Structure 1
């Protein structure tokens, strides 16, 4: 089962990782190594936070096993991780952090984690491949894609007409998100040339050589590119542009990461899942309210190597907490946009209402 899932979801995972703010194990100036390089190390860190006091709070001593990728989806989790380690959380937790998305999806499929933080479209693929045995409980990260250029005259999507945009990964979620926004803004495939590179670092190289080039990059590659070339700047935020092209009442958002739960665990321990949601929301709020302390915890958790790098990246990683009906509306609209361009990117078919945990 694990091997089959890894093969079937390889394309979806690769595309999602390019859209994410992957962890940096070096200084910002070297963060623009390929997304593949930063996610194939398969490094795993497990923290047992089943303190005696926390176990008492769960009533039956159940340990909630939480897994995630080292990146923005878990940056908002660090306060909860710290509280759990100190016996201050309501639930008892065991946290597992990995750098390879296929490893985490295999853990979900194999029942080795109860809750996991994953790329949004990968969650949809898992739903279809696990006989609908997972549910999304929150959105933890919105879009992390930015237009970067030395040409500051381009500030709106319609000004991309007649220009070339360089981006990594043909047939991945960044491409689908960009094409969706371009189409919604009235620009056809012939109006904007998309030039694909195999790695984000190659896009950064083009930007360094051509001051008029426009690149679409995810964090942390944006931070790295700006650090290496002071002439470059962020000229547009694709997440904001996505919001700008929505019709009134649409509610669709550009989503990077979601939190999912194993449905067997949900049925048996819904109270623990609801408590996790409360603690996750509070942890994410802490990340926004105290970025200095959050950056220290992010470095402590080895999600990003150094606290200053984490602090610099935090404002651009769009860490958020969205649940309930708002989550369903935002995520279903995003998945619809992906499905319309490539059904395989969401697992072949759109998830039904059972995919969304709405109380």
Structure 2
């Protein structure tokens, strides 16, 4: 009987050991052959993400078993579509296009801020524009329809009692990528632009443009509005919550590095920009961009609600009534708060 009890005890121990080994193996292999798809815009205003990628903050946080696949986007609309269709898992984008897409798909959310502000209103030097009111009858370029820059422009025009129109009775808006806008200003094809830095600074330095409204006077909230946010898909948050936290930490580390080592950051930003677009940028222009924004993980929910209202009024949000603009789950800073507490 004692022998039988002993055999049963050994068998039980053996079973527990095998079970423990299996659990350990499953845990260790949860990120085996995993590819995390990171999206980011080819804009210097995404500098914290650039630095986080260049300094290996994402890779170190995710671990050596995880492959990182970075996709650069020319505009926020393409990014948001890619996020909604699970072509990317996590990444950086402006609130305008993200809001518009979220209200359609509701399958991703904001998990951290990255920077606020960073856009300026530039008037072509010889266009006869001395104030915002002088934009009546003029053509103003924005990066894309529904972009954060368009929302800011519409708010600015509202403040001055101006309207957007397709004729000379109001302000005419056209879409141009920032690089194309620079050329259009040179060739006198557009009169003004609300554009992310450092494009505005470049126009001023070339002598073809002048600052009509500086970054810290652009609405909403006088430049202190979200321009770059860190987003994650619901699927990624559900399946890889721990990696989402690592991404948040990578973003925070990127912000802190820029604040503490601005000169070193210029080279890193230029290097990542070259990888994404094939062309780096002069340190002087990168400095101008970073000097004209506020690096922060904070997310101003009121500013985002104001942006959503502008998008709705402009007709970019369809199929909903104004009182159905529910953004209660769009911003989820619970993981950000956890990361901060763990520091």
1:235 and 2:218 aligned: no
Spell out, residue by residue over 1:246-287, the C-alpha distance to the aligned partner (whole angstroms, 9 max, x if none): xxxxxx954433221122322343333233212211202322
Q: Which moved more, 1:104-113 or 1:330-339?
A: 104-113
Measured after TM superposition, the shift of residue 69 of structure 1 is 2.6
- Residue segments in structure 2 that go unaligned for 5+ positions in a row: 1-26, 335-343
Separation of aligned partners in 1, 2:70 and 2:121: 29
Separation of aligned partners in 2, 1:100 and 1:241: 22
Counterpart position of 1:290: 261
1:194 and 2:171 aligned: yes
User: CA distance change for structure 1 residues 166 and 189 in 2, over 3 Å: closer, same or farther?
Assistant: closer
Counterpart position of 2:95: 120
Q: Greater CA radius of gyration, 1 or 2? A: 2
User: CA distance change for structure 1 residues 327 and 164 in 2, over 3 Å: closer, same or farther?
Assistant: same
The DSSP-based 3-state class of the residue aligned with 2:86 is: coil
1:309 and 2:287 aligned: no
Q: Which moved more, 1:197-206 or 1:90-99?
A: 197-206
- Which of 314, 320, 331 is the equivalent residue of 1:341? 314
Spell out, residue by residue over 1:301-329, the C-alpha distance to the aligned partner (whole angstroms, 9 max, x if none): 22465555255134326363333xx4433
1:135 and 2:109 aligned: yes
Measured after TM superposition, the shift of residue 135 of structure 1 is 1.1
- Residue segments in structure 1 that go unaligned for 5+ positions in a row: 1-57, 246-251
1:260 and 2:237 aligned: no
- Which of 91, 97, 106 is the equivalent residue of 2:71? 97
- Alpha carbons 2:52, 2:254 under 8 Å: kept: yes
- Which of 38, 56, 71 is the equivalent residue of 1:66? 38
Query: How many residue pairs were aligned?
Result: 289
User: CA distance change for structure 1 residues 350 and 234 in 2, over 3 Å: closer, same or farther?
Assistant: same
Separation of aligned partners in 1, 2:193 and 2:87: 39
- Alpha carbons 2:109, 2:329 under 8 Å: kept: yes
1:167 and 2:141 aligned: yes
Counterpart position of 1:354: 329
The DSSP-based 3-state class of the residue aligned with 1:81 is: helix
User: CA distance change for structure 1 residues 187 and 319 in 2, over 3 Å: closer, same or farther?
Assistant: same
User: CA distance change for structure 1 residues 305 and 241 in 2, over 3 Å: closer, same or farther?
Assistant: same
The DSSP-based 3-state class of the residue aligned with 1:146 is: strand
Measured after TM superposition, the shift of residue 75 of structure 1 is 2.4
Separation of aligned partners in 2, 1:346 and 1:72: 34
Measured after TM superposition, the shift of residue 134 of structure 1 is 0.9
Separation of aligned partners in 1, 2:226 and 2:57: 30
- Alpha carbons 1:149, 1:235 under 8 Å: kept: no
- Alpha carbons 2:102, 2:108 under 8 Å: kept: yes
The DSSP-based 3-state class of the residue aligned with 1:77 is: helix
Spell out, residue by residue over 1:84-136, the C-alpha distance to the aligned partner (whole angstroms, 9 max, x if none): 3796x333361412235566445434434321223323322332343x22111
Separation of aligned partners in 2, 1:114 and 1:152: 44
The DSSP-based 3-state class of the residue aligned with 1:139 is: strand
- Alpha carbons 2:155, 2:220 under 8 Å: kept: no
Counterpart position of 1:40: none
Separation of aligned partners in 2, 1:277 and 1:106: 22
Q: Please, what is the CA RMSD of the aligned residues?
A: 4.1
